Amino acid sequence: MSDARRLTTIAILQETDVVTCRQSAKQIAAWLGLSTLEQIRLATSVSELARNIYQYAGSGAFHFDLIGNSQGRLQALAFEAFDHGGGIEQIDAILDGSYVSPTGMGVGLRGAQRLMDEFDLHTSPHGTRIRASKQVNPPVPFPTERRIEEIRRQLKGLGVADPYIELNTRGAELLLTSSELQAKQVELEAINQELENTNKGVVALYSELEKASHELQQASEAKSRFFSNMTHEFRTPINIIENISKLLLNGTDGRLNEEQHKQVSFITSAAGELADMVNELLDLSQAESGRLEVTSETFSLGSVLEQLREFMHALGMRYPSVAWQVHGLEQEVPLATDRGRLFQVLRNLVSNAFKYTPEGRIDVRVFLPDEQHIEFVVEDTGVGIAADQLERVFEEFARVRTPGLTQVLGNGLGLPLARRLARLLKGELSVSSEAGQGSRFTASIARELEPANAPLGEFNLQGVSVLIIDDNEGDRYLLRRLLEPYQPLIIEAANASTSIDKLHSVRPDVIFLDLDLPDIYGGDLLESMDWAMHARVLINTAKALSGSEQAALAERCAGVLVKSQDNYADAVLRHVQRLAGSFRHAN
One-letter identity of residue 361: R
**pLDDT tens readout for residues 16-66:** 888 888 888 888 888 888 888 888 888 888 888 988 888 888 899 999 999
Looking from the CA of 113 toward its CB, the CA atoms found within 13 Å total 15
pTM of the model: 0.43
Q: What confidence category does residue 450 fall into, taking pLDDT thresholds of 50, 70 and 90?
A: low
Closest CA to 439 of 356, 359, 368: 356
Residue 63 has phi, psi (to 5 degrees) of -105, 135
Helix (H) or strand (E) holding 439: strand 439-446
Helix, strand, coil percent content, the chain, rounded in steps of 5: 50, 20, 30
Compute the mean pLDDT over every residue in the chain, rounded to the nearest whole number. 81
Residue 237 has phi, psi (to 5 degrees) of -65, -35
Do the Cβ atoms of 354 and 362 come closer than 8 Å? Answer: yes
Residue 284's CB is within 10 A of a number of other CB atoms, namely 21
Do the Cβ atoms of 554 and 289 come closer than 8 Å? Answer: no
What burial class does residue 362 get, using C-beta atoms within 10 Å of its C-beta: 0-12 exposed, 13-18 middle, 19+ buried?
Answer: buried
Q: What is the pLDDT of residue 305?
A: 92
Range 41-45 contact pairs with CB under 8 angstroms and sequence separation of 24 or more: 41/115, 41/116, 41/134, 42/77, 42/115, 42/116, 42/134, 43/173, 44/111, 44/112, 44/115, 45/111, 45/112, 45/115, 45/116, 45/132
To 10 degrees, the CA torsion angle through 113, 114, 115, 119? 40
Instruction: Dump the DSSP string for 70-116.
Output: TTSEEEEEEEEEEE-SS--TTHHHHHHT----TT-TTHHHHHHHHHS
- What is the rounded distance in angstroms from the CA atom of residue 305 to the CA atom of residue 381? 21
Domains of the chain: 3-161 (3.30.565.10), 199-292 (1.10.287.130), 297-446 (3.30.565.10), 465-586 (3.40.50.2300)
More confident site: 197 or 378: 378
Closest CA to 583 of 539, 538, 540, 552: 538
In the chain the first and final C-alpha atoms are separated, in Å, by: 55
Instruction: Dump the DSSP string for 347-400.
Output: HHHHHHHHHT-SSEEEEEEEE--SSSEEEEEEEE-SS---GGGTGGGGSTT---
Q: What confidence category does residue 398 fall into, taking pLDDT thresholds of 50, 70 and 90?
A: low
- What is the rounded distance in angstroms from the CA atom of residue 581 to the CA atom of residue 461? 9
**pLDDT tens readout for residues 553-580:** 777 788 888 888 777 888 888 888 878 7
**pLDDT tens readout for residues 304-335:** 899 899 989 988 888 899 999 999 898 888 88
Answer whether residue 456 shows pLDDT above 70.
Answer: no
- Spatial CB neighbours of 195, under 8 Å, sequence gap ≥ 6: none
User: Chain-centre distance of CA 423, in angstroms?
Assistant: 18
